[in-house]
Amino acid sequence: MSRVLMKGNEAIGAAAIKAGCRYFFGYPITPQSELPEYMSKALPEAGGIFLQAESEIAAINMVYGAAGAGARVMTGSSSPGISLKQEGITYCAGAELPCVIVNVMRGGPGLGSIQPGQADYFQSTRGGGNGDYRTIVYAPASIQETVDYVMEAFDKADIYRMPVLILADGMIGQMMEAVEIKEPNKIDLPEKDWATVGTKGKRKPNIINSLYLDSEKLEQHNANLQKKYNKIEATEVQYEAFGLEDAEVVCVAYGTTSRIVKNAIKHCNDNGIKVGMIRPITLWPYPYDVFKSINPKAKGILTVEMSAGQMIDDVRIAIEGRLPIYFNGRCGGMIPTPASIVEDIKKIAGGK
C-alpha cells in the first residue's frame, strides 16, 4: 500500500486492525472519537466486533474479558475517560492480560478542554491505578510513528502479558499526515495457554483473576511482576537522540511538542548555537541512560511539554544533578511556540 493521507485517530484504528486486533470496546470522547467511529465501520468489515460501551468503565472491563479469552483487543479514550478506566487497567495488569489502550490527551485537570495536552504523564508512567504495576507507554510524534507503535504495542502486550499504553495528544489524534500502513513484522509470540478458551475436557480450567487472598502468594505474584518490569526496563527502552556530545543546550520533549522543539532547534543551529535533543519514545521505561552522553560542559537542559512540567521528574532522575534543568510548558490546550523555545535556548546558551 502506498502512502495515503489519514487522521491520527483513523490511522490508529487501521494499524490496530492490520496488527490483528478484532475487538474494540470504547466510548466516544473528543479528541479521540474518530477512533471508535473508524472502528465501528472497519472492524465489522474485517470480521471483528466494535461495541460502544455504556461507559468507559464498562469498555475497559470488556477489554479485560476479551483479553482473558485470548483476543487481540483495544480500547481508546481521552484524558478524563482514561481516568475512569484506571480500575480496569490495574486489574488487567494484576491478571496479566495483554491489551492496548490509547489515550489521546486533552487539557486537564477534570473535564478540562478538548484541545491537546500532555498532562497525563504522571498517570501513565507512575500508574493511575492501585498497586505495584507498570504499563509500557509509547509516545509517538507523527502519524507514521503512531501506526508503527500501535502494531508493536500488540506484540509487546502479548509477549509480556500486560496492558500497553499509546500516549498520543489531541494534535496527533486530530492531525492529518501522509502514512503507510505496512505489513506488521512477523515475530514468534508465546502461546496463550493461560486464556479461557474452554478446557475441552482435557485440562483444568484457566482462571483470570487479580485477587490473591493468600499474602505470601500475592507477594510472590508481585515479585514475578517486578521481574518482568525489570526485564522491560533493560530491553524495551526506545528514544531518538542527536547532537548530545557537543551540545550547549539539550532539549527534552516527546510527542507533538518534540516536533515543535525540532523546528526551534533548526532555527538555533542556523544561528550557530549547538542544541542537542532527547526524544523519549517510551515514557516507561524511560531512557535514563542516554542522558549520560550529554556534554558535561553543556549549559543546561530544556524540558518542553504541554503540561506544568511532569516529565521534569524523570529528567532530574536521569541527569543526577549534573546540569541545571529549565522548563518551557503550556497548559490547558495551549501549544508552545517555536519562537518561545528559541528564546529559552538562547537564554540558557548565553548563561542567563
Partner 1 sequence: MLDKRLVIITGHYGSGKTEFAINYAIKIKENFENVSLADLDIVNPYFRSREKKSLLESKGIHVIESSIHSTTIELPALSSGIMGIIQNQNMHSILDVGGDPVGAKVLSRFSDLIKENEYDLFYVINGNRPETRKKEDVINYLKAIENSSSLRATGLINNTHLLKSTTIVDVEYGHELAKKVSWELDIPIRYEVAMESITDKISNKEIEDKFFPINLYMREEWMS
Query: 150 pairs with which residues across the strands?
Result: none
Which residues are 179's β-sheet partners? 4
Of 56 and 169, CB closest to partner 1? 169
Question: For residues 130 and 73, what is the distance between their CA atoms, to the nearest angstrom?
Answer: 22
Determine, following the binding rule CB under 8 A, whether residue 127 of this chain makes contact with partner 1: no
Q: Is 171 in the site for partner 1 (CB under 8 A)?
A: yes
Q: Which of residues 178-197 bind partner 1 (CB under 8 A)?
A: 178
**Interaction of residue 328 with partner 1, rule CB under 8 A:** no
- Orientation of helix 86-94 relative to helix 56-68, angle to 10°: 20
* Closer by beta carbon to partner 1, 176 or else 223: 176
CA 132 to each of CA 94, 135, 222, 226: distance values in angstroms, whole numbers, following the listed order: 9, 11, 7, 8
| Contacting partner 1 within 6-25 (CB under 8 A) | 6-7, 14
Alpha-carbon distance of 245 to 297, in angstroms, equals: 9
Nearest distance from C-beta of residue 31 to partner 1, angstroms: 5
- Residue from 238, 338, 340, 347 touching partner 1 (CB under 8 A): that is 338
Q: What is the DSSP letter of 259?
A: H
Residue among 79, 115, 135, 146 that touches partner 1 (CB under 8 A): 115
Q: Between 85 and 262, whose beta carbon lies closer to partner 1?
A: 262
Provide, rounded to whole angstroms, the least separation between the CB of residue 43 and partner 1: 15
Q: Retrieve residue 114's grid coordinates.
A: 478538548
Q: Among 15, 19, 175, 312, which residue sits at the site for partner 1 (rule: CB under 8 A)?
A: 175
Smallest separation, CB 178 to partner 1 (Å): 4
Is residue 294 within 8 A of residue 276, CB to CB? The reply is: yes
User: Where in 59-98 is the site for partner 1 (CB under 8 A)?
Assistant: none
Contact 246, 295 (CB under 8 A): yes
Q: Is 308 among the residues that bind partner 1 (CB under 8 A)? A: no
Contact with partner 1 (CB under 8 A): which of 142, 282, 307, 310? 142
Which residues, other chains included, contact 134 with Cβ-Cβ below 8 Å and sequence gap of 6+? 93, 127, 162, 229, 232, 284
| Sites for partner 1 among residues 26-45 (CB under 8 A) | 30-31
Give the shortest CB-165-to-partner 1 separation in angstroms.
22
DSSP per-residue letters across 269-306: HHTT--EEEEEESEEES---GGGGGS-TT--EEEEEES
Residue 46 sits in the site that holds partner 1 (CB under 8 A): no
* Strand order from edge to edge, sheet including 325-329: 239-242, 275-280, 249-252, 300-305, 325-329
Residue type, 309: G
- Exactly one of 132, 177, 240, 313 binds partner 1 (CB under 8 A); that residue is 177
Binding residues (CB under 8 A) for partner 1: these are 3-7, 14, 30-31, 113-115, 142, 170-171, 174-178, 259-260, 262-263, 333, 338
